[in-house]
Structures are given as structure tokens and as C-alpha cells.
Chain A
Amino acid sequence: MDNKKKTLIGIVGKENVLEYQKSLETYARDQSFVLPIEPWFVVRPKNMEEVQAIVKWANESTTPLVPMSSGAPHFHGDTVPSVPEATLVDLSRMSAIRRIDRRNRMAVIEPGVTYSQLQPELAKEGLRLTTPLLPRRTKSVIASLLERQPTIIPRYQYSMTEPLRNLGVVWGNGDILYTGEAGGSVYSLEDQWKAGGRQVDPKGPGQTDYLRFVTGAQGTMGIVVWASVKCELLPDVHKVFFIATEKLEALIEFSQRLQRLRLGDEVLLLNNSQLANILGKGIDHIITLRGALPHWVLIMGVAGRALFPEEKAAVQEKDISDLAQYFGLKLLSAIPGVTNREVLDTLINPSGEPYWKFKYKGGCQDIFFLTTLDKTPQFIKTMYSVAETLKYQASEIGIYIQPQHQGVEHHCEFSLPFDPEDWKEVTRVKELYCKASEELIGQGAYFSRPYGMWANMVYNRDVQGTIALRKIKQIFDPKNVMNPGKLCF
């Protein structure tokens, strides 16, 4: 252990190597149910060269590495080591925004850059980046995009990996190979920029889509040291509208049509519990809101940007209104209990403190998967049924449905709040989480991001896919030093 520490200090400096102790408990466990395993070290590199040195060392010494970019709390178990004697690679020191290019609407950032840090800098250039729903303040942009966390503007999501474009990757075998058009050029980003490259095209290089190996990989293929992301223009006009219904079914066709016509910026569907969790200022307020809010709300942001922004917003608003009328729905500019401005501000900013999912009970487990919108009612029914069986209060389940890929895939998420200090609740939620996940997978819910216990369930269903993934893993991380024990590795 001493030798390992010595080598790491040689790479990153003494102050950036932490030997595991109680004060570093946040690195050993997270909000998920995975078994906590303490890493031996936490190491904090500053640049690509240090990261490569760490990975090469890990190969030589057969040391498991667990990369991490975001700050606590973590949720899915992917940043908790699955094996002993691991070294956690904390990338939060790599927090530079390398470049913001308004003309090409591209930004190049390092893994430690959070949404809280990035958005204000983008705003100075008249840009912004589509975000997931209320990311925590410590959430790394790259980590979120790598894990294909759904973003709230489906219109810009031309592919499931958007807005992620190019990556600088130190692969599990210590090689550096960039993805996308950046991979077809020299290593120096500055030289690429000088030659007119802007890291826009995500595909390749060559005949392989390396980006695809790293996204959804939970750090098992390599470590991303920079990423380019496609930004949107900051709107000059921005409003939210709502459609409120008792039943989700009443929103389905309207939402599908909305996506098809590419109307709106932000589009998301929330049940009253989830919306209350988001907007509520405390437990009591959440409970009040839950009672006051319509059972289902579809929230749409309507924005106008660039030329004639007011007219752009006005035309969209009228088109959406016509559409709503066609489906017998009413377009609202407010919902009971909260102002339009409050909703918009909440939606487009990171979560406040405490993290919004903890506001109600202090703890929360999420079950999420991909499906098509028409199937969501059936999965909701299943979730409620399992909850009832296990005596979990169904009305407390927060439901968030996020259209993705311009309306083809939909992220469906069930949030299960619980009091982490109450062992009965913890046990109940654990059981609910397991049982509901099994049932949902059995009914065709596609767990495309198989964290923790989902991994076995998912990979058991796809034998050939698993074999193929293991071949890929063998290529990029033959010694399995990158986050072993995750996914099917």
C-alpha cells in the first residue's frame, strides 16, 4: 500500500492523494443499496497526462480504478467500488472550461465542471446547455451526459447522446484516443482549433463510434478528460405552459404530437407528487402542493431566440394552443399553488439545497428505464400494484416522464421517498425497489442504464449483447482495472 501511495504521490503530488479514512466515507458508499466497499485511496489528478499516468500505473499494479467527477451525493452505486483495494479517481480538480465558441455554439469542458459553474459562463456568450431535471449543484456535466441522463429539451436531442459531441479519453489500457472528429486529428486541442476544428461531429473517428463505448459505461472503459458539448442560444423570451389532467392517458397523444411537431423547448410530464417534490419548499409545503396540484401535469417551456424572439414564442404558443384544443385539452399559463416564473426558474436551474429529492423525507430511491410513451400507463400500474402489495404509500411515488430523442424514447422514472433513519422504511423501499424492478423488466421496461442490481437482470436477457460488450471491454481495458464489477464486467 505504501508503494502504491508513493507512486500516486509521484504522479499528482502529496496533497492530491488521500488515504482512505472515515472522513472520506462519502467515497465508500452512496444513496443506493449497493454494498459499501472502502477504496484504499482517493487520487485527484489535474490534467490528462496525470490521468494517463494513473491508468498506466493501475494496469501495472492491477489496481482497480473508480472514476468520479461529480460531488456528493451519489445515487446509483457506479462510483462505489465493487471490489476491495480500489483507487478512486476524483476528477473534480479538472474543472476548466477550456473554450466557449458562440459562433459554433460549442463548449469544451473538463470533467469537474458542473452545471452551476457552466451555465453562467455560457450565458455571458448568449448560450446555455440543455440540462437534466434539476441536477444537484455538484453534478458534473460530463458525468451526466456520459451516463445518458435525460435532458429536458427533447427537441434538440437528435440522438440519445446529445448534446455530447467529442471526448478526450484515457482508455482502460492507458492509451489516449479522442472520439468524434477530434480523434481524427492531432492531440492538441489548441492546434485543432488553430486548424479550424471545433469538435462538432460526434461520430468516429473512422468506422467506429468510440463515444458509444464510453456513454453508459459507468467508468468501466476509460476516463474522460474533456468533452465538447453543443449549446443552444439563450432565449430572449421564455415562458412555461401547462396541461393538467387527471389521467396520464389524456396527455399521451398530445405529447406525442408535440414532439412530432418539435414544439416547445422543455417538455416533461410529472405527477403531482413529483411536481410537489420539485416545487415544494419543505415537507408541509410538499404535502399541501401534492393535494392542490392536478394529478398529471405536462410542462412546456416556450422560448424565442435569435431573430424575432417574441414572434417565435407567440407562434409556438398559438400552435400549441391549437394542438391542445384539437385534443380537448386546455393550455394553462399557471397551475395552482405556484407562479409561472417560479416554475421556469426552478426548471432551468440546478437544484437548491437540500437536493430536491431529499426535501420530503431525507432519502429517495429512483427506478428508471426507457420505454415508449404509450406503454407508460401500464408500467405505472405495475409500480402502484407492487407498492400496494408492500404497503408503500403509492401517492408518495413521484413520477417523471421525459421525452427523449425528439419523442421516440421516453425516460420513465419512479422516485420513492423514504426516511433513511427509519429502518422499516429503508427495508420497505429496498424490497419495493427490487420487486418493482423485476416486474418492470419482465414487462418490457428497458433498463438501458443498468446500475447495481439491475445489471444482472438486464444482461441475463441479452446474451449476445453481453458477449459483444465483453469483447469491447477486453479491447479497451484488458486487465479490467476500470471499475470492475459493474455492468457485465
Chain B
Amino acid sequence: MALEDYRADVLRCSRCSYCKWIPFDHVKSWRFAKGCPSIDYNKFQSYSAAGRLVTGLSLMDGRCDVTDRVIDVAFKCQLCGSCDVACKVCRYDMEPLLALHELRFKLVEEGHTLPQNTPVMEGFRKEHNMLMKPKGQGGKWADGLKVKDLSKEKAEVAFHAGCRSSYDRDLAQVPSVSASILQKAGVDFGILGKAETCCGGRAFHMGYRADFTSAAKHTVKTWTNAGVKTVVTPCADCFHTFRRLYPEVGSQVEVLHMVEFVDRLVKQGKIKLSRPVTMKITYHDPCHLGRQGEPYVPWKGKERKIFGQAVVYDPPRPRYNGAKGVYEPPRNVLKAIPGLELVEMERIKEASWCCGAGGGVREAYPEFSSWTAGERIEEAMSTGAEAIVSACPWCERNFMDAVNAIGGTMKVFDVMDLVQQAI
């Protein structure tokens, strides 16, 4: 695909502003009505999804050149997908999120990159992680775990930790707890451990399509060689990448997030969450597990018009609008923990506010990233919760940093942390 393929999307944009807000039916207050962190922080119209679509059109039509402003507009966005969900409340023909991706791909492919991204991508290419750490440092979370090494052995289930929790000491317990749970449940699984490479999702979102494709193909090949049929991960970013982006490079594995797996195990009685954890918590839906965590549906087709001008697709095009995101499994797991009181924020599920880390924003625009997380922490605090719980180490890192920045007391947990306490 190319940006030109989304020309019609731009021309058919009604400039309705829905992309800036959560679906209006869900607005419960003045304070927490916004959906798009980018325009909320940066203010100018360009920073909305509609604004970016127009920027793309202006570039395509030669109405403007690539300026610093254009690059800022294109990259100062977490690609959280809130705009996509809101737009699709009323539209069946628009794909704003895909168009936003294409804008980035176009700029990167033409050499217009963010200087801040250069060291990150060098690290990705050389060290196979997005944290600019030497590759040997990852995988320490697995130390002491007796588990299959997929680089040498076969297993039908692969557990993929993800580079955030592999390389971030504060989050290392997430994969290690997850792996122990799998072990307790008697799952025959393997890991790549220190040999695990970044899923490539973050590189994709930063606009580096070729780098992503290369990394993805490598990982798919490794799984194929190891006989993997199912991939389980506790990282929402990786989950989304494997579920939605990898099939385009030939992956056919089943993809599950740990919360889905644990939800299954609890329902099957294979693990019991019987130890009370007395706490009032709120749950944050990660973008990549929630609205962007919908199952992949392969499609190749084209636009057709009915009733004269109404746009449909042949065959019918799958609709990614956040309806089938992974919302209930993490909630089921949390509700199954005795003593835990779950209170919901205003913006949840498909209307969730982004943690701020995605799309390369944490790396390139730390202030904006922190502000976005801070907004979410404010929202969490408004519920009276003591802790914010999520299912993505990127979200958790961003929240922890935001809490520290404001000197707050809100605790940050992964679902697996609480599962570990409750088992």
C-alpha cells in the first residue's frame, strides 16, 4: 500500500472532528472527553487524524514541502487508534489509522526521519531491541527457569516476552511470572530468551516498514523452524504486532495475550486465584490489546459502488473498529481475584485514552509522552483507585514514570503481578 491509496479517504473526510474525541455516547465528563492525545497536546488542527490526512494530501499534490512542521505533525502521534474508532462510529469507508501509517512510511522512505529516532533504529538493527541496550542484556528474566529453548528445541507454544520487559529491570517480573504460570498450567512451551528479537512492531509504527518486515520474517522463520503453532505474550505491543501485522508477512500462528490465556485457565479451573489481594484498582486498556487487538481477517478486494455512489467492498471488507478487542479477559481475571475492587475509568475499552508510549512517541517526544500518561493517571486518580493495572509493559513503564514525575502515590501493576499475588 502507499499513501496515494488513501487519497479517496482524505477527499471523503467530512472534517467532522469525531477523530479528536472518544465516541460521544461515552462522554461522561468535560475532563475526560478527549480521545486524541496529539491534538489535545499540540492543539493545531494538523495534529488530528483529519489534519494528518490533509497533510498527506497536500504533500501528494505538491501544495507544500516536507518541513520540520510536517515531520513533527507526522511523528508526534502515538498511533493509538482512538481516531480510527471514533471515525468509524459513522463511517464504513474510512481508514484513518492506516493512512496515518502510510504518511510515516512515505516520509521515512523518502529520507525524512526524526533525528531522535536514528539511535533507536540503529539499536533495533544491531541489538534487536527498541531500548538501545546491548542484546545480551535481554532475557535475564528467564534466568533460573527450566524451559525449552526454541532456538534449539521444538514446542507448539512460544512465549514471547517482548523487549520492554526483557530489558527493563522494573518490569522483568511480568515475563517471569507469566512463564511460571504457563509452567504451572502444564503448557508445553518454549522461549527464545536472550535470542529473542524485537517483534518489530514499534519500528513499524515509527515508519520503518522495511525494517519491520525484515524482523518479522526472521521471527516467523524461527517459529516455523521450532514448530510453533501458538504464540503467547504478556506485551500488548507484541500481541498486536503478531496478531495483526505478522499475517501480512506469512505468519499463521495463533496469537494470545497472557490475559486471554490466564482467563482460559481460570475458567477451566487449571489455576485458582484464591489468595485475597485487598486493593481498589482501575484497569487501563492498552491500545494494542484493546481497540487494536482485534483478530486479523485476511482481505484482498476492491471498492465498488452501490446505489449509485455508496461505497462498499468486494468481497466485504473486515471492519476494524474496536468492537472485538480484548476487553473482557483481563477484567475477568481481575474480578476473579478475591478482595480486589475494580472501578472503571470513564474512558475504557474502545474509548480508552492512550498511555502515551506508543508510535515512537516515548522515544522521540518524552514530554508529550509523559503528559499523555499523566492525563491517564489523573483519570485513574479520579476513580479513587490506589493502583492502575494494565496488560502492557510499555503502558506500565510510562505510567510509573508519570507517577514519579508528579510525585504521586498511585501504584502501577501488570495483571500478571496481581495474578501472582493471588495464586
A and B touching (Cβ–Cβ under 8 A): no
